[in-house]
Amino acid sequence: MHLASVDPQLADLSNKLIYSAMAVYTLAMFAHLFEWTFGAKGAVAVRSAEQSSLAETVAAADDSAKGVRKVTVTVASSGGGTTTLTRTALADAGATTVTSGRGDGVPVDGPGAAGGSEKGDLAGRIAVSLTVLGALLHAGGVLTRGLSVMRWPWGNMYEFSCAFALMMITAYLGLMAAKKNVRWLGLPVVIAALLTLGIAVTVLYTESEQLVPALHSYWLAIHVSTAIMCGGAFYAAAVATVLYLGKDSYERRLAAGATPRAGSVWGRLPASATLDKLSYRINALVFPLWTFTIIAGAIWAEAAWGKYWEWDPKETWSFITWVAYACYLHARATAGWRGRKAAYLALLAFACWLFNYYGVNIFVTGKHSYAGV
């Protein structure tokens, strides 16, 4: 089969686009840091402030209240208008529920829920815009890398890392596009993408070149692309899990009587239950795709080597990773595991995935080593 030659101009353009994306991601990181420093006073933050103000206003009247009653209060909103809030007071039970006049019942979650500034909200929106711009440059770098040799651009660890970092960003932007309140996820995702690209361009970089014959297969597009998508999703879930552990510890300290510190990052994160649920849902959604990735790899192995499975180090650790995530999902679904125990198991599974990628590829020799780093 005739192999296309390498186009040095496209290869050079790819490198420049990747470096440009890193520069834009760096600006996005600083914008996210500015938002976290000053908070974000968007719709969620405004609703939080309104609810807090309302609770203080009617607290004294509630002390002598009996039975169930409704209290309607009109408060000023940040846009200059007014918002009608309805308060249901259950004096005997000692419970209070506040909902907006729209009846949406949206929980107070996310950056800025503890208050903040309009500058913080502006910084958050700028950060998201810069992340989108960086993702476009990043995608251009991955695309031109493939076009430079007319093949799928994930034939070695450098190319896989570039595509993996792009999938991290894409997963985050996809959640944003789905109207999920996950702007708080931007900072760790952008930092991780920068670290991944930094390792790729300094340690793992490989000149654009053709691959060995075994990799010239349509299974490269199927098997490796699904592995990249799984990696990006697993990473997003792992970030949510780590943040859950921190938020859970913060909530435990508050429950024990600790005084919350003004401007605390943990105070502006979503509730620990929200983070735990997000992590579980992402892992549950991507697990079937990881299963397909392993099956597709076995089919490709049979076509290339004549056997579906030979317990190659890469195959072995892919299976170990599958078992770890299966145990996590099984424990959540049947054993009733919630909270920290399940979180530790999820992080163990992600650690297996990371070792399968970095550890096996760099330090262990096997049949998958022919792609080089």
Residue 271: both structure tokens together: 């509730």
Q: How many CB atoms lie within 10 A of CB 70?
A: 8
CA neighbours closer than 13 Å in the CB half-sphere of residue 107: 11
- Quick one: how far is CA 99 from the chain centroid? 29
Give residue 60's pLDDT: 44
Give residue 220's pLDDT: 74
Question: How many residues can be counted in the chain?
Answer: 373
CA distances for 252 relative to 114, 259, 260, angstroms? 18, 11, 11
Phi, psi (rounded to 5 degrees) for 72? -110, 125
Distance CA 366, CA 359 (A): 12
- Closest listed residue to residue 107, CA positions, set 260, 276, 339, 273: 273
Give residue 366's pLDDT: 58
Distance CA 265, CA 195 (A): 22
Distance CA 129, CA 135 (A): 10
Output the tens digit of pLDDT for each of the chain's 373 residues: 445 577 888 989 999 999 999 999 999 999 988 887 776 444 444 444 444 445 444 444 444 444 444 444 444 444 444 444 444 444 444 333 333 333 344 444 555 544 456 777 788 889 999 999 999 999 999 999 989 888 888 778 888 889 989 988 998 898 888 877 788 888 889 999 999 999 999 988 888 776 666 666 777 778 888 888 898 889 889 988 999 999 999 888 888 887 777 667 787 788 888 888 889 999 999 999 999 999 988 888 887 777 888 888 888 889 999 999 999 998 888 767 778 888 999 999 999 998 988 888 777 665 555 445 5
Helix (H, G, I), strand (E, B) or coil at 261: coil
- Closest listed residue to residue 233, CA positions, set 182, 163, 282: 282
Distance CA 61, CA 69 (A): 12
Q: How many CB atoms lie within 10 A of CB 128?
A: 19
Distance CA 42, CA 32 (A): 15
Q: What is the largest CA-CA distance in the chain?
A: 87
Residue 22: both structure tokens together: 């890193």
Give residue 352's pLDDT: 93
